[in-house]
Amino acid sequence: MASKTLHVSKKENSLVISYDWYEKSVFIIFGGVIAFSYFLYILHGVLIDLFNALSIFFLFVLFFYLAILAFILFMTYLSLCSLCNTTTIKIENEELTIENSPFPIPWKSNVKLDVNDIEQLYVEKNKMYISDGEGNLMLNPQTEGEFPDTISRIKQGLKGEMSLYLRTTTGKSVEVLSMAQLGSHERAINIERTIEDYLNIQDYAVEGEHEGEKKFTKEELRRNLDKKKINPTAIAISDLKEGFVFDYDLYSWMITFMIQYDWLSGSTDRLLQMVSDSGDNKLLYLQEQFSGIIPWMETKSENFKFPSFDKSAGSNIPYSLDHNGENYSLSQTNDGKLFHKKQILGSEVSQYFFLNSDDTKSIRIIWLSDSNYSIYLGEKKEERHFDNILHSS
């Protein structure tokens, strides 16, 4: 498969990627098939001469004859695939399908998967090759002793071939395109990038991935909230982000800015700046809980008298605070990363969340360092207070 050309068709509701298997080297395979066929013809004559003897030597020659016949049939079929086949990758109706035609691959079934089950695509690392740092593959010297029969061919220019895998949301790895179907690592990488771009999948390093050391790990990346499909007829407060408009407190508001908190616990909170059509500004904190999203209307405090302590010493963290005659108890602590706007890599952050006695008011303390922290005073709201949520576009 020398040609690396991909035919890509993108539409609003579908993506189609196709490529031909044809390569000139298929005629070399045909030449080998003809040579083996001639040898098989000679062997057939030997079998006829030995037929009456029924000796052990006859059985050995018969076994050898059948093995070569099977090899010829296999190589003939593979040659026909290389000469005529086309692989088509289609994403449509929330489903990923991969088909090979006109000749199916007996040892490789067609792929059919729900796109919502796909977490990541990656090209498998081939331990026989390493990168030279400029995007090219070179033989890994550590493997020369492990693959003595193939080293000479590789050194003569045989390209590295790698399979394309996907990782499901359950952590299972599935081979979607084998080396025989892909033909080159460049094609595999291009297909990976095209599908991830279309499905809005954030690329991160997977164990065993080709050049995975050049990518960020999953833990280093911002969680992708845009992957979630939004039902335009049933937009909820949990869908709010920059560009959304809604009604609150008799005014129309727009989200103009968002800070995202990705906690190590697995939850993701957001702080949204909302601006009304009259020019007022407010802060809306969306706290993710097992029961759903809890909205808090917040104000940033500049003169809150917070007791000084060493944040790194967890035992010194106060378990209660007093503010305006009310006592607030420590309800939740979180560690994770904070992301502004379109940041890919965030800042390390810690949060301490205090609640009053009836859980209707909060004090939220965000720490970026011992000397850099912000305090927000919040008032709990209900989702029913937010109406007519729409995207401005």
DSSP letters, 138-162, are: EE-GGGTTT-HHHHHHHHTTPPP--
Give me the half-sphere count of Cα atoms (radius 13 Å) on the Cβ side of residue 297: 13
Contact between residue 244 and residue 236 where contact means Cβ atoms under 8 Å apart = no
Q: What is the pLDDT of residue 233?
A: 65
Question: How many other C-beta atoms lie within 10 A of the C-beta of residue 116?
Answer: 14
Q: What is the pLDDT of residue 364?
A: 94
Q: What is the pLDDT of residue 316?
A: 65
Q: What is the pLDDT of residue 231?
A: 64
In whole angstroms, give the CA distance from residue 22 to residue 269.
51
- Report angle CA 159, 189, 9 to the nearest 5 degrees: 120
Q: What is the pLDDT of residue 370?
A: 66
Q: What is the pLDDT of residue 310?
A: 55
* Distances 106 to 100, 280, 376 between C-alpha atoms, Å: 11, 66, 62
Cα–chain center distance at 288? 23
**pTM surpassing 0.75?**
no
Contact between residue 374 and residue 304 where contact means Cβ atoms under 8 Å apart = no
Q: How far apart are the first and last CA of the chain?
A: 44
Give 229-232 contacts, CB < 8 A, sequence gap 24+: 230/391, 232/391
Spatial neighbors of 131 by CB under 8 A, at least 6 apart, are 137, 138, 211
The 3-class secondary structure across 227-289, one letter per residue, is HCCCCCCCCCHHHCCCCEEEEECCEEEEEEEEEEEEECCCCEEEEEEEEECCCCEEEEEEEEE
In whole angstroms, give the CA distance from residue 57 to residue 39.
18
Q: For the chain (length 393 residues), average pLDDT per consecutive 10? A: 70 87 76 83 77 71 84 85 88 90 81 88 69 48 46 40 84 84 82 88 81 74 66 75 87 91 90 91 92 90 67 67 92 90 78 95 87 88 83 59
Contact between residue 347 and residue 341 where contact means Cβ atoms under 8 Å apart = no
Q: What is the pLDDT of residue 378?
A: 96
